[in-house]
Structure 1
Amino acid sequence: MRLLTTLAVSLACLAALAVFGHSAPVEAASSRVALLIANADYPDSDAELPTPKNDAAALAEALTRRGFAVEVVTNLTKDRFQSAIDGFMRRIEPGSTALIFYSGYAIQVARKNYLIPIDAKIWSEPNVLQESVGVDTLMAETAKRGASNRLLVLDASRRNPFERRYRSFSTGLAPAAAQPGSLVLYSAAAGSVVNETSAGRSLFATELVKQIALPGISAEEAFGATRDALSKASKGQQVPALVSTLEDPFSFDQNYVKPAALKQPSAAVEPEAPPLSTKPVTIESKAEPKSAEPVAKLDLPPDPGDPPLSPLAAAPSAAVEPKSKPLADANPTQPVQTAAKEPDAPLTSDATTLREFEDAKAIGSREAYQDFLNRHPDGSLATQARAEIAKLDTTTSPQSAQPPTYTPAESARKAALDERIKQNPRDEQAYYERGQFYAQRGETMPAIADFDQSIRMNPRNPEAYNNRCWMQAVAGALDRARADCDQALKLRPNYVDALDSRGFVNLKASRFREAVADYDAALRLDPVHSSSLYGRGIAKRRLGLTGPAEKDFAGALQLNAGIGDEFAGYGLR
């Protein structure tokens, strides 16, 4: 009789739990494991990142109080990175909760994110795959180990010293892959980058620690509150990205009471971003663009005075395949055509001429002034341009008159590359890396010379052509830059960075319709490419399309608040 009574009481308790939810802890402390990675001291970076170590320490304390078995590792080389991951995977038990926090540098390649060890040797896109740790692979491995709840927190939306070696602009992180049973939080929206703080702790980690300590809320709610608080504190400049596919509510609070009826999980917790406004707005929720939708292409009327569109830019789809029609400006001796015949935006006004002269002056090269003369051969500014060319022809260049100053780390890097080339003059990769070294420091002509050597030895490298295209454009050699971009796209038809670079070349050459077409093609492939959005905005504004231009500017600045200053540095406003 006592056994039956005990059984009846037990069944009654189970029934009560089914109706009113769990009153006991969701899981035992031993079933919660966390790996916190803080990579701060990169030899290729100018300075140590100030926040990763302190953020990891604060988060470790908060998670330990919540029953997690926490391991903190700092400044991981590639070998130590893999060792830390292997050890963490062995600690994951079936049905457990696994949390990974990473603060440091990361790069996206082909819409996938990669975490960068401090000793990574990255000079091109293939190097990223060889030297880094894939986020998708990491999350898939936690699933294979049987973790029921897989949490990932990435604080890596930073400008980094590696990406600028083979790309024109930092592209931020790719959107998070919605793997079942996962909860992912980025410190910023996909495609955006955050300016580094001088404080010892990041606002992102500070707010996250605060939310983890709150009782009675789910992890999804804690991450969502972190996102909302950071968005409000930064006035919409930093809006974390949140994606959840958890099948059952999880809470950092071990005494959390689950609701009786569960709703179906949503692949994207955050609300869709509202349409971008031409006025500054304060964003209270996620502003990440939807990558699944193509960016609408600007439908501009044809103009008989325009040069024909490049075959690659004219393609109607993302597969930008060359056609047989020759380029009208393929002849390097042919003067660059201007947009003076644009019916919707005459570009022969004094204001436009002055702006283009100021652009040439900002670049300061002979090629930039000659390009201005090709478009404006008459007038007082043409006389000034000829005088500047004469001055450049008779004086020593500033670069040779004042040797560049390097930090000790930069001097050591350059000495190592010089030695590699001395030991093996056929080391194509060494020339490529030294060209990137010069390019990062604004040493245009040495960079072009090294890319020349790299291309002579390996004429099938699209990244070398793209980088030389960019440096030629900075130097004002726009015809040669255009030819390099065309070759990069011939070798790799869907090369987003080369489309962006060629848009930049067309922008500087005042071929605004072609610039729009190139930027359209880049944005179809990567809708959150901030430099393509901003460059397209400049091209549209020069065409007199003020409303669409302001919309592009607003979108680009939401993704990258410093993008306008970067373009201004190249003489484009």
Structure 2
Amino acid sequence: MSHFMRVAVAALLIGLTIAGSGTGSRAADAAKVALVIGNAKYPDNEFVLNEAANDAQDVAEELKRDGFAVDRQTNLTGDAMRQALDRFYARIERGSVALIFFDGFGIQSNRQTYLLPVDAQIWTEPDVSRDGFNLDAILGEMNVRGAAIKIALVDAGRRNPFERRFRRYSAGLAPVIAPSNSLVLYSTALGAVVGSGKTDRSLFVTELLREIRAPNISAEQALTNTKNGVVGATNREQVPWLSSSLTTEFAFAGTIVRPPDGNGPDKTPSKPELQKPEQQAVCKAAQPDAAPSPSELARDPVINDLTRKIGANPNDAVSRYKRGQVYAIKRAYALAMQDFDAVIRSDPKDAEALNNRCWARAATGDLQAALADCNLALQINPGLSDALDSRGLVNLKLGRTADAIKDYTGAIQRNPRSSSSLFGRGIASRRSGSDGSMDIDLAKSMDPNIAKEFAGYGVAECVP
């Protein structure tokens, strides 16, 4: 049994016996401790997440007003984040309320959510569990330390710079296996992401602060109202995920007013979800982001670090492959293919490198060469879902819609959360005369930027 599984099992068992967790018990007078983390400056990201730092400060100030002893931290490395969590655990008293707020980048792996420090070095799936912090384990440790109420508020469902290095889609966050008497709120739906905008405050935290300041309503109702507020403000484009096993009455602000009959908390009605107006479907062509200039690439810290390693060892195929991935993600396809060429010369049977070169060639329109790369990658590794996804793009651009649908379907069977494969299959279905709206809508719900990404490959969502 793994360490994380042991923690989760212990959390579930202890959660059944914590004093004061029975229905109707109160936590108004319990000690309240919080760890608030705003990770804004990830070197691998193109810009600073200003909203993460600002939101963390605003949340910390509000929690202090609500009686929490708050430790606010920003831009934590892995070591610093581990130390902050250890300090947080040490402050938890038996019967207390323990809350963690995290704003930054999160990622899921093996159906678990990981919160990422700013120095995370993630290039492959195993790197996630090595450098990330498992949310299930954090909640489990809060429970083991004796917290009667466990609360996790996570604004981390952003499209991040890490996932596309080892998968073709942004998978968002996974459901948490929380101990009893817990509240968990994500800013986005499970498996969905929102684009990282250059804003000063996030809508999610704006709604959250408004609701937890409201007096005399339960914490669970405040988070439900937060969810409904975001849903209404975005016309259902962003739907937060809420999980509750709370059986203890608790309010962020003040106490819960009970109705005259004394049967339970007086829960303020939640905000009505705004209904999306009926509109005639209009297809607006997405416009791709401009490719970075040579000077922008030259300033990229990840590229610079990899270039330094290659300069010290020209035979460093791993660094060349990683740099090729970064170039391809940034749409510097010519430079990406130079690196993939070098990797393939050193190992002609490197299926991952062949797949990535196929993808880069497909994006630039070198379709026959791309097809040869994808076919060879799948010959070497028939189960490589990313190569099926890449070949689907090639066939889509070649006008072979039946072959594209077959490739994308094969990729989806291996990876049902692939927004790239779902979107591609939806477009191929439309071009073949079928209705691909379900695939397209699902892909957009998981990745709001997927149409823009395909536009960068020369594939428009709109079908003439």
TM-score (norm 1): 0.66
| Structure 2 counterpart of 1:431 | 320
Cα drift, residue 251 of structure 1: 2.5
Q: Equivalences for 1:10-159 in 2 at 5 Å? A: 26-30=27-31, 32-159=32-159
Mapped to 2, the partners of 1:279 and 1:182 lie a distance apart of 42
Q: Equivalences for 1:117-516 in 2 at 5 Å? A: 117-177=117-177, 179-256=179-256, 404-406=294-296, 409-410=299-300, 413-457=302-346, 463-482=352-371, 484-485=373-374, 496-516=385-405
Mapped to 2, the partners of 1:27 and 1:244 lie a distance apart of 18
CA distance change for structure 1 residues 432 and 218 in 2, over 3 Å: closer, same or farther?
same
SS at match of 1:36: strand
| Structure 2 counterpart of 1:388 | none
Mapped to 2, the partners of 1:407 and 1:491 lie a distance apart of 33
Cα drift, residue 228 of structure 1: 0.6
Runs (5+) with no aligned partner, structure 1:
1-19, 264-268, 282-361, 364-398
| Matched length | 423
Mapped to 1, the partners of 2:79 and 2:347 lie a distance apart of 31
Runs (5+) with no aligned partner, structure 2:
1-22
CA distance change for structure 1 residues 278 and 490 in 2, over 3 Å: closer, same or farther?
farther
Cα drift, residue 242 of structure 1: 1.3
Q: Is the 8 A contact 1:29 1:67 kept in 2?
A: no
The residue identity in structure 1 corresponding to 2:295 is T
% identical equivalent positions: 45
Cα drift, residue 74 of structure 1: 0.2
The residue identity in structure 2 corresponding to 1:437 is V
Match 2:446 to one of 552, 559, 562: 559
Q: CA RMSD in A?
A: 3.5
Cα drift, residue 237 of structure 1: 1.6
CA distance change for structure 1 residues 114 and 56 in 2, over 3 Å: closer, same or farther?
same
CA distance change for structure 1 residues 62 and 419 in 2, over 3 Å: closer, same or farther?
closer
Max Rg structure: 1
Q: Is the 8 A contact 1:26 1:255 kept in 2?
A: no
TM-score (norm 2): 0.80
| Structure 1 counterpart of 2:9 | none
Cα drift, residue 108 of structure 1: 2.1
1:124-177 Cα distance to aligned partner (Å, 9 max, x none): 333323222222222222232232322111111222222333333433223444
The residue identity in structure 2 corresponding to 1:507 is L
Q: Is the 8 A contact 2:362 2:457 kept in 1?
A: no
The residue identity in structure 1 corresponding to 2:204 is F
| Structure 2 counterpart of 1:570 | 457
| Structure 2 counterpart of 1:345 | none
Q: Is the 8 A contact 2:24 2:249 kept in 1?
A: no
| Structure 2 counterpart of 1:8 | none
CA distance change for structure 1 residues 504 and 138 in 2, over 3 Å: closer, same or farther?
farther
Mapped to 2, the partners of 1:469 and 1:54 lie a distance apart of 41
The residue identity in structure 2 corresponding to 1:569 is G
1:431-474 Cα distance to aligned partner (Å, 9 max, x none): 11221232133222331231233345567765434323311322
CA distance change for structure 1 residues 258 and 436 in 2, over 3 Å: closer, same or farther?
farther
| Structure 2 counterpart of 1:332 | none
SS at match of 1:531: helix
Mapped to 1, the partners of 2:293 and 2:199 lie a distance apart of 34
SS at match of 2:50: coil
